[in-house]
Amino acid sequence: MSIHSYQTALVTGASSGIGAACVRMLSRHDMRVTAMDRDSDRLAELASETGCEAIVMDIRQTEELYETFADRDIDVLVNNAGLAHGLAEGFLGTGNDQVDEMIGVNVTAAIHVLRAVLPSMITRKRGHIIAMGSIASLYPLGLPVYGASKGAIRSLSRHLRMELSGTKIRHTEICPGRTETGFFDTAFGDPQQRASFVSEIRLLDPADIADAIEYALRTPLHVNVSSIEITPVDQVPGGQILG
Ligand SMILES: NC(=O)c1ccc[n+]([C@@H]2O[C@H](COP(=O)([O-])OP(=O)(O)OC[C@H]3O[C@@H](n4cnc5c(N)ncnc54)[C@H](OP(=O)(O)O)[C@@H]3O)[C@@H](O)[C@H]2O)c1
């Protein structure tokens, strides 16, 4: 069953975790889904499972990004590609190139994807943007660079909502807590530290995040769900700190 006659969707960071769950959810709603990521094998598997179109690209290839989406009409954008480094190593222990990669993918590329897709949405007065934030933008979890990158997404989302006023384009920022994906493979250099971190509590499944996005998409077109914060029941940042 389709959602608001949305026909097309683009998901970045689509080949694993939350992105792949979103491709599956959007495909179930009969959308023609374009799945973009840099891992060709994982994308090919997802394409044969869901029928999505696969685009293999490093999302930091800015010119190629604009060229690819110049003539495409995207109804739903899940601006999802992102990563963290140095969860155990901390601010100064994280490599310079890792800092650049976090900002380059989580912030710069996310902005360019939006700028590539938005003109057609504005012309058609139609579309729903899903920005992938994090609870790291809401609470101090001890992840300064990653938190800053997701703080930028939070700020971008709020400012963009102002600029989109009158266009009928909807915008939702999703702020997940710990979710069982490949994210922690990249975030932890040491597999043992990773294993003890992810087994500490029952994490969210990627499908839980896709369900939250599905909810925001399905609300009537006069409704804008601006932000969803979603965590495992046992992850409680704040009074009892569990980042
Ligand atoms: N998992 C969590 O606990 C959590 C919590 C809050 C927010 N988030 C956010 O959720 C989003 C999705 O992450 P996830 O948890 O689903 O992790 P994931 O399974 O690692 O998925 C992220 C995807 O983005 C891709 N990607 C990274 N850099 C890229 C680049 N330069 N070009 C193209 N694709 C690139 C990754 O490809 P490779 O595998 O090749 O790197 C991967 O397929 C991210 O924005 C993350 O910050 C995750």
User: Per-residue b/e over 56-70, b at no fewer than 16 CB within 10 Å?
Assistant: eeebbebeebeebbe
Separation between Cα atoms, residue 92 and residue 148, nearest integer Å:
15
Q: Which of 141, 12, 144, 162 is nearest to 78 (CA)?
A: 12
In this prediction the pTM is 0.97
Q: Which CATH superfamily is domain 8-228 in?
A: NAD(P)-binding Rossmann-like Domain (3.40.50.720)
Distance CA 58, CA 37 (A): 7
Which pair of structure tokens corresponds to residue 211? 């369900």
Q: How confident is the model at residue 242 (pLDDT cuts 50, 70, 90)?
A: confident
> What are the residue numbers of the active site?
146
Q: What would the pLDDT profile of 165-204 be if each residue is shown by its tens digit?
A: 999 999 999 999 999 999 999 999 889 999 998 899 999 9
Please provide residue 37's backbone torsions phi and psi, each rounded to the nearest 5 degrees: -170, 180
192 C-alpha vs ligand 1 centroid, how far in Å? 20
Per the model's pLDDT, the better-predicted residue between 142 and 55 turns out to be: 55
Cα of 182 from ligand 1 centre, angstroms: 7
Give nearest CA residue, ligand 1 atom 44.
82
| Coil, strand or helix at 188 | coil
Ligand 1 in reach of 149 Cβ (< 6 A): no
The pLDDT value recorded for residue 101 is 98
Taking the centre of ligand 1 as the mean of its atom positions, its distance from the CA of residue 13, in whole angstroms, is 6
pLDDT tens, position by position, 9-30: 999 999 999 999 999 999 999 9
Question: What is the residue whose two structure tokens read 């409680």?
Answer: 236
Ligand 1, pocket-test mutation among 24, 130, 135, 181, most atoms within 8 A of CB: 181
237 vs 103: CA distance, rounded Å: 24
> Which is nearest to 215 in space by CA: 113, 135, 137, 128?
128
